[in-house]
Amino acid sequence: MSYTLTYIIATRNRLPFLKITLEKLLIELRANEEIVVVDGNSTDGSKEYLRALFEEGKINQFLSEPDKNQAHAWNKAMLMANGTIIKKIIDDDVFCYKAIQECKNYMLQHPTIDVMISNDLGSALSDHKNIQKLSRLPQFEKWSKGSARSFTFGDVNMLIRKNSLAYIGLYNTAYIMMDWEYSLRISYLKANIAYYTGYNALSIAHQETISSLKNDKLTDEQGKRGCVFYEYEGDSAEISLWSKIKIQAGKRLKPVKSNISAKDNPLEEISSIYNYYYDFISELNQTAGFSFIECTHK
C-alpha cells in the first residue's frame, strides 16, 4: 500500500518521551499516512510497548534489533517507508502536525521539491517557558542565490521526498552529527530545497538528549572535514544551531530519569511541560501567515 506521508521514529530506552510523542502522533495521523518505528532493542519496556501498538494496528511497521548507531537506525526507518513524503519524528521533540500537513501538501503539489525545511524552536526541559525562535532563512536565501555552496539546518523540521533518496542518499553512519553532514550534503548537491517560514518542530534539550552525549573532539574533527568537503564557509551553526543548543543545555541540566518500565505511567511533570510546548507551537503557527519559499538556483 502507498501512503502520502510516512512518519519515522528511531528510539531506544526513552519510554516516557516515546509515549507522549506517539500519543500526540496517533491523534493526528491521517488515513493515508503510516507510522514506522525502529527500536534499538530497548530494555526499558519500549520494545514491549511498541509491539503492543503494532499488534493493535496503531503503527504500521515495527522493527526491534540492535543498531550500530543512530544514523543506522534512521536509515533503516527511511528504507522501510512507503510514503511519498518522509517526516522524521524525534521521540523527545515536539511537532506541529498542522504545519507538517501544510508542508506535505505543498510538496505533493510541487513534485520537483526534494526537501522541505522550516523555522524551528528550541527550549530546555528545565526552563520550558523560555522558548527560542530559530531560523536558517538567511542562510537558505544566500545558498539559494548561489552565494554559498552549502549551508546547515536541523533535520528535526525536515520533510524528504522518498524518491529523492536516490540522489541525496541516506545518513552518513560515520558521522556523529549526522544531521549536520546530511544538510551540507543535500545543499551541496543542489537538491531542490523549499523553505516554510512557519514552525513545524520544537527541539527539546535535556540531560539525556542524544546531542548532549556527543564526543566533542570527534565532532570537531568531523566538522573540519565536512567544511572542506562541502565547501562550507561556516556561520553560527557550524555543527548545526539546534545541536549546539542541545549540547550546551544538556550539559547544564539536571538528569531526567527516562529508564522507566512500560508498566509505569509517564512522568506527570514531563507530560505537563510537553502539553505546554504543544499548545505553544500550535498557537504560534496560528498567529501569523506563513509562506513557502522555493530555491532560485539552477
pLDDT tens-place string over residues 68-81: 999 999 999 999 99
pLDDT tens-place string over residues 197-223: 999 999 998 876 554 445 667 777 777
Query: Which of 48-52, 73-77, 165-169, 237-241 has the least mean pLDDT?
Result: 237-241
pLDDT over 50 (residue 85): yes
Total domain count, the chain: 1
**Amino acid at residue number 138:** P
Q: What is the pLDDT of residue 192?
A: 97
Q: What is the pLDDT of residue 176?
A: 85
Where residue 48 sits, what CATH number does that domain have? 3.90.550.10
Q: What is the pLDDT of residue 279?
A: 97
Look at the block and give the residue holding cell 523527545.
92
- Cβ–Cβ under 8 Å, residues 18 and 11: yes
Q: What is the pLDDT of residue 267?
A: 65
How much of the chain exceeds pLDDT 90, in percent?
A: 72
pLDDT over 90 (residue 32): yes
Mean pLDDT for the stretch of residues 84-102 = 97
pLDDT tens-place string over residues 96-117: 999 999 999 999 999 999 999 9
pLDDT tens-place string over residues 223-250: 777 788 888 887 765 554 445 445 444 4
Burial of 48 (C-beta count, 10 Å sphere; 0-12/13-18/19+) = middle
Pairing of strands 61-64, 292-294: unpaired
Q: What is the pLDDT of residue 214?
A: 53
Question: How many other CB atoms sit within 10 Å of the CB of residue 283?
Answer: 10
On the CB side of 287, how many CA atoms lie within 13 Å of its CA?
7
- Phi and psi at residue 113, to the nearest 5°: -75, 125
pLDDT over 50 (residue 256): no
Determine the structural domain holding residue 234 and report its residue range.
Answer: 3-294
- Cβ–Cβ under 8 Å, residues 15 and 258: yes
**What nine digits make up the cell of 136?**
536558517
Query: Which of 3-12, 61-70, 285-294 has the least mean pLDDT?
Result: 285-294
Q: What is the pLDDT of residue 236?
A: 61
Q: What is the pLDDT of residue 209?
A: 58
Q: What is the pLDDT of residue 289?
A: 85
- Using pLDDT thresholds of 50, 70 and 90, give the confidence band for residue 253: very low
| Residues 168, 170, 174, 176, CA torsion sign | positive
Angstrom CA distances, 250 to 13, 51, 206, 242, 244, stand at 17, 30, 5, 12, 10
